[in-house]
Chain A
């Protein structure tokens, strides 16, 4: 029987066809179950030939594009058979993570080597996005013992090495020497926040700056730098997997910070980048990454001093967190690409290259044998950052292992430091949020 095909029928069929095609095309993730950290098994690279070309995804931490290009040129000269394409994959760690995660979902266009920050690598591990480097370290004879131990240990989990340090940093106390001199203060960073609290009114009066101290921008890793105060007061975001950000010590630390803004009125909160505010002379002191050091030295029109982070009433030392980024190799690329990427990773982290990277950015050299004499003679302030490494502390699990925790911490800090919110209530609410993230997103994926 013949059937009419009028416009209405046609549109109906077209709609049905589109729907059917859509349902048929519903790929996405597999719902058949999977294991976290599926790339955990050691990979055998024997007999594998390195790929002829790899992409290196970076956000050029510390404005490192030029030095990255220079290192790649050196690599090409030594390994002409492996071409490295430098790809700007984002302006910061979050953007590079976004691109990497999206490529994982699309299952295409993955790089050979990727920059991964302290708060992202663990997620890549739990999602099975990166491979353990142990067999590659062995095959390529990468001298792991020569790396700064604490920096390498940051990427160790379940007895495997998941990344190697690259643009690693710690926060540093920056101060305006001219302001300190005008206020009759010693030319050094304060030993404790209490000491700085005594200095601050004099600083503000003598300097003419808006603030004696500016807290780092809340959108710029507030959870990272605030660990310094929490630890100084004997508190923390978490103790292992127990969220204790509402402890009396943590609340006291943040209450002191709030008072410095609203009660004592000598501190403020940066809106975008504390290092820029400091360079512009808005504040006499701040805390910023060592990765900002060269930028500050270049742009500041005054004498810049740097020092260790101040301690608190409970702990005067061991109050500085490590941070920054490492390099990892995706699991979703071929063994050939992984081997080529590891070859480049080894080269990137050679002592002379890590020294060059450090000289160009202010990030710390990740190798203990890196010859820093030329760098230090040119920029002696870097030595303070290197020396501070000895008194660093591993970050709280809550900040580095819980997805989105850093943002939740920043929001809580915003409530306390910019809206004068109740500290105890805010931290109790944050604790609940962090526990929820842990229970839902992390606990099920942890190795028992």
Chain B
């Protein structure tokens, strides 16, 4: 026992609690079970330890010890690789795959959250050592709130309007509104599709959103989320029953065609609205500055 024991214990605890808080199993069902969670809690504890120990190291003028934070960075990059590989492997057996963009998004989040844990632990221990345990509590709270802010990105409803449209056939062509989805040759399949299918139109709210929802990974993420939340009328060996998202080339609207098992339009709409906007899909052509050509500022 020395003067650092309690601050270090406190910092590690704060970090691990932050990790637990960020590790909610939600509708995306990932990570699902105890083992997947154990991995992340263990890594969270390591991250918390690294963040915490950095403070006494600085105070003892052990600056060389700080370099092990670099070690942490490479350690957590591996977390990202691990998540990416696991999810890629699993994706092959999904009825509606997540898609690489979604997987990359999840992997980035897993890496990022470990850094947030380091940050919270560092702040907590620093506050404990410089002031007292109450200041440390306050620092942990602030850290947690900041982490939470970082955790939640924007949702689809922030960038696009979602509207239900009943899908219909024109000859063999399946349409959602005026957006062509696919060609279905068999009348029996067409009946199934009309019976179970739902169509939604995503109307982008601005030019940036238009490019973002055009992203194939973003569209796949929407299809995956809806299929996870509401079930899917599909099996291996029925390739015609496939949810698809196609784009209207004229105005950038996206037509979503899904086959949910729960036939509840409002629920489906709510799920689509709450699909996360994938970091890697976000494009901001409107942020390009046109000043050189005489214009000014953003054109979004």
Do the two chains bind? no
